[in-house]
Structure 1
Amino acid sequence: MHSNANYRNIEFKSLKYLKNEITYGGYLAALCSPCFIISTSIILDIKISIPMLLISYLLPLIIYSYDYYKDIDKDIKNNSERATFLKRKADRYPFVFAFYSLFLVSLLVLYSNWGMVVFIVAIMAGGILYNVVLKNLTKKIPVFKNMFTALTWALVGAFFPLFYYSMSINISFIIAFSFIFMRVMNNVMFFDLKDIENDRSEGLKTLPVMLGKKGAINILQALNIISFIPLVVGVYINAVPLFALASAFLGMYSFYYIKKAEKTNDKELETVSHTLADMEFILWPVVFVIAKIMIGL
């Protein structure tokens, strides 16, 4: 009986470690990038490839890993569960960065073109530059952090296939970019709800700091609705297919987790942010594939 109890305890700890690794290691959040690209490809009827998706996954994974590693000591002061978990393996991060970077470079050499390389380098440079220099602009420019993050995600999500296949830009890509930008803007501002006190102490002008938790949630719900306007316009002008309107389901999903934030504390919000909020973007391809099949019928 004692050995069985020990086995179950080891099994529980292993599962908990795996859950924390996926959630706090950036692996779940990095899935957003290929999910955006798959969604854009479905809506615009563009082929996708495994190397393209791997490159798009490694790009945010490197940026997120650097961001988390850089902010460990700051976040741990706020009793962040993520920072506490990552602190235990901080000495391994240089090797992790090296592996990710080598893998990314190998894929770019084998499967990419110069336009794609320049695009990737610009995105990575922007991500690192933000963490080193630009982040302080949020002390002067309201929601700058959110706009910069949303801009980066939208550029990758909408234009990655364009650069990968050396395609020409058109109104459909602009519509995809606008939709992703507003959806991500809503999502990253939601993440700020759990960091109100820390951001206020740093003088950052985030939406929750300026409006308070309740005011920020009201704005998030309004933006949740407004974000679907680009797709509605796209369907109206025949720039995107009718099944794109199935994204309304995503609005209902976002409404749920934003509403849930009203009655949760900071620790619970961290869990909601790294699970329900991050999971929204993973649902995108599923929703669009189902909608496309149903419309096709």
Structure 2
Amino acid sequence: MNEAFNITGNGRIYRETLDTIKELWADFIYGGHIFAFGAICVAFMCSILFEIPITWDFLVIIYLTFYIIYLYDYFNGTEDDEKTNSTRANYFRQNDSKTITRILYGSIVSIASIYVLYSDIPNMLIGFAILFLGVTYQAYFKGLTKKITAFKNIFVSMVWAILVYVMFIYYSYPITMEALIISTFIFLRMTGIQILFDIRDIEGDQKKGLRTFPAIYGYRKGLMTLIAINFVTAILLIYGAYIEAIPYTALMIVPVIFYAQNYLDKVDRSRKDHKSYLFAAGEPFIWFVLIFSGSMFFRMVPYISEITNVL
């Protein structure tokens, strides 16, 4: 009897644990955390490339800033997600709007508190200016997507690219050619990712009259543009290293074009394969992994001959 009870109890605990994991995963993917985590990866990547010691206060500010921007955007775009991303739409229907509002305001207060305690007013103004641009896109800037082709892609990618300069300013580092090149790389990569998401939403955007790149030029040209961006970003890094404008460690990101080509091929086979878009959203994590691995490799190079002799 006790044994049967224990089995039943263990099964219940297992199911509850599994349900909790599923809820956390859904929150990470659909609640804006995946891009907030991506922003953290960009910060760590820049920290390695530019040898800028990074602190927890900056990481929390960046995480919460991007979390607020994407959570607010997704929450307000629930109706638009009905046909193109029903899973995310269902996620927000299951969450109380008052709870989400409290999370947004709580995050804003947390950011302000960190700026007051660990930084200064100029940095706070810059940070909140970026936050303001991000959260007002739906209300004030989205309409421009009906007038300016690829405005949404440029707008979102610029926010990501500015992250490099924000980091330099936060730690009082002069903005160098290295920062310009890496910022351009981030801008191009994020533009490609945004165009990929527009390929998924192409029919809906055409009905709304949004001038996204795929909606205007078609699905096939959209994919060809992404392939072109792959090669351009690789050439940018190779040329930057060649003229010694960026450290050779940056070349470790070049293989990301193969990672990107993999999810592009999957989208080409099926635009309904949501895993492909998840891989695209997680690309900044791959940048960090590649840069971190490259940094470790170049640090070990001077000692390789000694290790070989020992072996």
TM-score of Structure 1 vs Structure 2, range by shorter chain:
over 0.9
CA contact (8 A) 1:34 1:57 kept: yes
Unaligned runs of 5+ residues in structure 2 are 302-311
Match of 2:276 in 1: 272
Shift of 1:85: 0.9
1:27 counterpart letter in structure 2: H
Residue number among 150, 153, 158 corresponding to 1:146 in the alignment: 153
Match of 1:233 in 2: 239
Q: Secondary structure at the match of 1:34?
A: helix
Shift of 1:242: 1.0
CA contact (8 A) 2:84 2:200 kept: no
With over 3 angstroms needed to count, the CA separation of the structure-2 counterparts of 1:197 and 1:246, relative to structure 1, is: same
Match of 1:95 in 2: 102
Query: For 2:123 and 2:237, how far apart are their aligned partners in 1?
Result: 26
Larger deviation, residues 113-122 vs 198-207? 113-122
Q: Secondary structure at the match of 2:218?
A: helix
CA contact (8 A) 1:69 1:90 kept: no
Shift of 1:34: 1.6
Any residues of structure 2 matched to 1:46-61 within 5 Å, and which? 46-61=52-67
CA contact (8 A) 1:37 1:160 kept: no
TM-score, with structure 2 as normaliser: 0.89
Larger deviation, residues 178-187 vs 112-121? 112-121
Match of 1:285 in 2: 288
Any residues of structure 2 matched to 1:130-169 within 5 Å, and which? 130-156=137-163, 158-169=164-175
CA contact (8 A) 1:62 1:97 kept: yes
Q: Which has the larger radius of gyration?
A: 2
- Equivalenced residues, count: 293
Question: Using CA pairs below 8 Å that are at least 6 residues apart, which structure has the higher relative contact order?
Answer: 1
Query: For 1:212 and 1:281, how far apart are their aligned partners in 2?
Result: 27
Shift of 1:139: 0.9
Shift of 1:237: 2.1
Any residues of structure 2 matched to 1:73-112 within 5 Å, and which? 73-76=79-82, 78=84, 80-91=86-97, 92-112=99-119
CA contact (8 A) 2:112 2:124 kept: no
CA contact (8 A) 1:115 1:163 kept: no
Any residues of structure 2 matched to 1:113-128 within 5 Å, and which? 113-128=120-135
Q: Secondary structure at the match of 1:73?
A: coil
With over 3 angstroms needed to count, the CA separation of the structure-2 counterparts of 1:5 and 1:292, relative to structure 1, is: closer
Q: Secondary structure at the match of 1:72?
A: coil
Identity, % of aligned positions: 30
Shift of 1:280: 1.1
Query: For 2:81 and 2:193, how far apart are their aligned partners in 1?
Result: 20
Shift of 1:14: 2.5
Shift of 1:24: 0.4
Q: Secondary structure at the match of 1:228?
A: helix
Larger deviation, residues 236-245 vs 6-15? 6-15
TM-score, with structure 1 as normaliser: 0.93
